[in-house]
Amino acid sequence: MSDVVLAGELPFPQRPDYLAAGSTLRSWLTTTDHKRIAILYAVTITVFFFMGGAAITAVRLELFVPNGWFLTSDTYNRLFSFHGIIMVWFFLVPSIPNTFGNFLMPLMIGAPDVAFPRLNLFSWYLTLVGGAFAVYTLIAGGVDTGWTFYTPFSTMFSNTHVLTAAAAVFVVGFASIATGVNFIATTHMLRAPGMTWFRLPLFVWSIYATSIVMVLSTPVLAISLMLVIAERWLGLPIFDPTRGGDPILFQHLFWFYSHPAVYIMVLPAMGVVSEIIPCFARRRLFGYDFMVYAIIAIAGIGFFVWGHHMFVSGQSPYASLIFSFLSFVIAVPSAIKVFNWTASLYRGQISFNSPMLYALGFVGLFTTGGLSGLFLASIPVDVHVTDTYFVVAHFHYIMVGGSVSAFFGALHFWWPKITGKMYPESWAQFAAITMYFGFNMTFLPQFFAGYLGMPRRYHTYPAEFQLYNVMSSAGAAVLAAAYLLPLMYLTWSLLHGKRAPSNPWSATGLEWTTSSPPPPNNFDMQPLVDRGPYQYHAERESAGTDAPEVQNARSLR
């Protein structure tokens, strides 16, 4: 499409968009444009998502029958370990921050790029190197420690490729740290004039808080993996009890990262949902200030709850009491957010476009997952259900029901902005609904199996758990199909989709004021900000005083 044709449609006819700014492989691999790096990440994590998904599909197939039918125990253990490692570190952690955070954060604060564009590209290469270690591990025969690498199993007893698997996670952790540093600097330094802290969109707040969590907790993960490597490779006595080591030291270090890591996955998801709901409810977000404080509280308290993973590990019972209390406390800001999203619908003009369906699905699934978290914070109940399928169901509700729903919500919300193309809405709505039901079919039965005592990571299981496993596996098939749908219709939209206007949803937010897709430096002129986010009510309540916005909304609807 030539510029002449575009001139009639778009406000920025003179310059090519960021996608057209160079089409050679070299132009992509050496780019420092945050938007192109976001695309690089998107492609990378999509590959990882389907790899991790394939591994778990085999696992769920195997669990159809109690005593196994096509996998050996060793293969089974390696498959669930691969699934966990890939999904946590190569999909969930980078998913929203590294793709949508990268693409949108500078646009949302009115900046031309992130603070350190080269560091940004470098962290993508680190992800690739980490991914190469992970894929090598798989090809060389896999690793069977689970994603948690518990010692002394991982250091002294496993005969699989622990070193390369640990190296994979170690390296990709640096990508996390680099990205976090970059986003923190960007938020502090590059906000447009008038973009005060309390005018930041909640997505920016959540990415900012996530970045702080990444920068503070990921080094601890790196250290704990270094210690695993040191003991396994160099034979240093760190976790080996026969030489004075402490076998559960690793768990403390590991969960000091991995519990905050849950918020690395969930906070950005909360940010996405906080953007989508006001837009499709045409209302200001209820209680913006409280939402900001809740984000800060979650990020802060998130560092002090790791011990609730270890109530049965033999840690001091008094420590357990404190961790139990703090785990209840962190549920409060999460509850605030759920109430505020719900209240944001009140007196709205709600339309059910696919991003909204994903966002509402997120609220439902996150609430369910969060409430099941209360069971795990209560020590006596936790003792019974920990390390069972109850826990599996709980964290999948939070991490898959929550984060992945929000990821798809973000994908559909910003797809027109990112690609400049519209997708077929009815397909997208169908996929969103199928995903919601497939998800519940997969994981709801696991709460029951877990309460009845089915331990997690079991290759074979007593026959009385079969009903729940069959239900779960059937649900997984529906879920897998639902995940493949967007791959198809979004690809279709790239080739045949209608051209997207700069603001297809009549959303507020600076990213919608530039063209779709944006030009390489995001804005033709430095944006000025004179109001807070989510001024959707303005179009109804003060018609006349906010004329441009009203006109904008009408012309597109």
Partner 1 sequence: MNTIFTLPEASTQAARVDGIFAVLVVVSALTLALVFGLLVTFAIRYRRGSEAKRGRLPEIVNREFEVSWTAATLFLFAFLFWWAASADVGALTAPSNALEVHVLAKQWMWKTQHSNGAREINELHVPIGRPVRLVMTSQDVIHSFFVPAFRIKQDVLPGRNTETWFKATKLGVFPLFCAEYCGTDHSAMRGRVTVMSEDDYTRWLSRQPEGDDLAHLGAKLFVSQGCSGCHAGSSSVHAPKLDGLYGRTVQLSDGRQVKADDAYIRDSILQPKRDVVAGFEPIMPSFAGLLDDGDVQSLTAYIRSLGQEQDHE
Q: Which of 19, 21, 345, 529 binds partner 1 (CB under 8 A)?
A: 345
- Who contacts 287 (Cβ-Cβ below 8 Å, separation ≥6)? 336, 340, 343
Identify which of residues 60 and 459 has a Cβ nearer to partner 1 in the complex: 459
> In the bound complex, what is the minimum distance in angstroms from residue 542's beta carbon to partner 1?
10
Closest residue by Cα to residue 305 from 217, 209, 180: 217
Residue 245 corresponds to which amino acid? Answer: G
Q: Which of 11, 141, 194, 314 binds partner 1 (CB under 8 A)?
A: 314
- Three-state secondary structure of 293-340: HHHHHHHHHHHHCHHHHCCCCCCCHHHHHHHHHHHHHHHHHHHHHHHH
10 Å CB burial of residue 463 (0-12, 13-18, 19+) is exposed
Identify which of residues 313 and 429 has a Cβ nearer to partner 1 in the complex: 313
If binding is defined by CB under 8 A, does position 336 make contact with partner 1?
yes
| Radius of gyration (C-alpha) of the chain in whole angstroms | 23
> In the bound complex, what is the minimum distance in angstroms from residue 13's beta carbon to partner 1?
33
Angle between helices 162-189 and 117-140 (to 10 degrees): 160
Q: Let me know: does 482 contact 428? Beta carbons within 8 Å.
A: no
Q: Which of 12, 50, 303, 339 binds partner 1 (CB under 8 A)?
A: 339
Longest dimension (CA), the chain: 78
Identify which of residues 23 and 159 has a Cβ nearer to partner 1 in the complex: 159
Q: Which of 243, 498, 531, 554 binds partner 1 (CB under 8 A)?
A: 243
Half-sphere exposure of 303 (CA within 13 A, CB side): 14
Q: Within 437-456, which residues bind partner 1 (CB under 8 A)?
A: 448, 451-453, 455-456
> In the bound complex, what is the minimum distance in angstroms from residue 279's beta carbon to partner 1?
12
Q: Within 459-488, which residues bind partner 1 (CB under 8 A)?
A: 459-462, 464, 467
Q: Rounded to an integer, what distance in angstroms lies between the CA atom of residue 276 and that of residue 160?
A: 44
If binding is defined by CB under 8 A, does position 249 make contact with partner 1?
no
If binding is defined by CB under 8 A, does position 329 make contact with partner 1?
yes
Q: Within 139-198, which residues bind partner 1 (CB under 8 A)?
A: 144, 146, 148, 150, 152-153, 156-158
Identify which of residues 216 and 329 has a Cβ nearer to partner 1 in the complex: 329
Q: Which of 71, 457, 480, 489 binds partner 1 (CB under 8 A)?
A: 457
Q: Rounded to an integer, what distance in angstroms lies between the CA atom of residue 136 and that of residue 132?
A: 6
Q: Which of 3, 9, 425, 541 binds partner 1 (CB under 8 A)?
A: 541
Residues 372-391: x where in contact with partner 1 by CB under 8 A, - otherwise, as a string: x-xx-xxxxx-xx-xxx---
Identify which of residues 157 and 233 has a Cβ nearer to partner 1 in the complex: 157
Identify which of residues 123 and 320 has a Cβ nearer to partner 1 in the complex: 320
Total binding residues toward partner 1, as defined by CB under 8 A: 87
If binding is defined by CB under 8 A, does position 458 make contact with partner 1?
yes
Backbone angles phi and psi of 499, in degrees to 5: -70, 135
> In the bound complex, what is the minimum distance in angstroms from residue 493's beta carbon to partner 1?
24
Please report the DSSP string for 30-47 in residue order. Answer: T---HHHHHHHHHHHHHH
Q: Which of 15, 199, 499, 537 binds partner 1 (CB under 8 A)?
A: 537
Q: Rounded to an integer, what distance in angstroms lies between the CA atom of residue 149 and that of residue 165?
A: 9
Q: Within 21-60, which residues bind partner 1 (CB under 8 A)?
A: none
Q: Within 64-83, which residues bind partner 1 (CB under 8 A)?
A: 73-74, 77
Residue 294, Cα to own-chain centre: how many angstroms? 18
Closest residue by Cα to residue 412 from 537, 505, 299, 543: 505
Identify which of residues 102 and 274 has a Cβ nearer to partner 1 in the complex: 274
If binding is defined by CB under 8 A, does position 426 make contact with partner 1?
no
If binding is defined by CB under 8 A, does position 248 make contact with partner 1?
yes
Identify which of residues 135 and 398 has a Cβ nearer to partner 1 in the complex: 398
Q: Let me know: does 431 contact 489? Beta carbons within 8 Å.
A: yes
Identify which of residues 140 and 332 has a Cβ nearer to partner 1 in the complex: 332
Angle between helices 34-62 and 466-496 (to 10 degrees): 150
> In the bound complex, what is the minimum distance in angstroms from residue 459's beta carbon to partner 1?
4
